[in-house]
Structure formats: structure tokens, C-alpha cells
Amino acid sequence: MTAVGILAVTATVAAGCAWAGAAAIQSARASVVADTAALAAADTALGFVGGVPCDRAAQVVERAGLVLTVCETDGVVATVVVGATVSAFAVQARARAGPAE
């Protein structure tokens, strides 16, 4: 009976670690996508690429399969927030891009 209890606890801990690991991976992925989307929006605001800055950021995020929750431009500086979910975890990443001050 003790062995069954130990196995149950071990399985629960292993599942929790797997979910937490998946959330950490998705968080890193969301961070990279947010950086890329912010750079794309800033490039568009600077005129390097045609289009609307937040539309360009939305395209980048959509291709990655994530959700763009915030996109703001202040002149040529773009700020984006990207969200994703993994099981019961919700992750967000924020990025800002523009010319050096």
C-alpha cells in the first residue's frame, strides 16, 4: 500500500514538473515572438517596411500561433504584449523596440 502512495505522489510531482517545464518553454517562445513583433512594428513605423506597424506585428504573432494582446506605437517606438496558454498556465511577454535614444 505504501508503494502505491509513493507512486501516486511521484506521478503527481512528475506531471507538475512537466507542465511547469512546458510553461517555461512557451514563455521563452512568447518572449522571442514579442521581440520579433516589436522589431517588425518599429521597422514599419520607421518606414523600412510598408504597412501599418501594429498590423505587421499582428502578422508576426499570428504566424507563430500566439495572441497579440497589446500593440502601441509612440512615434517610431513600438510596444507589444504577446500571450499564450499552456494547460492551466497563461504566459505573457512584453517587448519594446525603436531607435536608440
Give tens-digit pLDDT for 68-95.
Answer: 999 999 999 999 999 988 777 788 999 9
3-state secondary structure (DSSP) of residue 81: strand
Q: Which helix (H) or strand (E) holds 8?
A: helix 2-46
pTM score: 0.82
Nearest to 66 by CA among 98, 32, 39, 40: 32
Q: What is the pLDDT of residues 25-72, one digit of tens each?
A: 888 889 999 999 999 999 999 999 899 999 999 999 999 999 999 999
Q: Are 93 and 34 in contact (CB under 8 A)?
A: yes
pLDDT band at 13 (very low <50, low <70, confident <90, very high): confident
Residue 33 CA, chain-centre distance (Å), reads 6
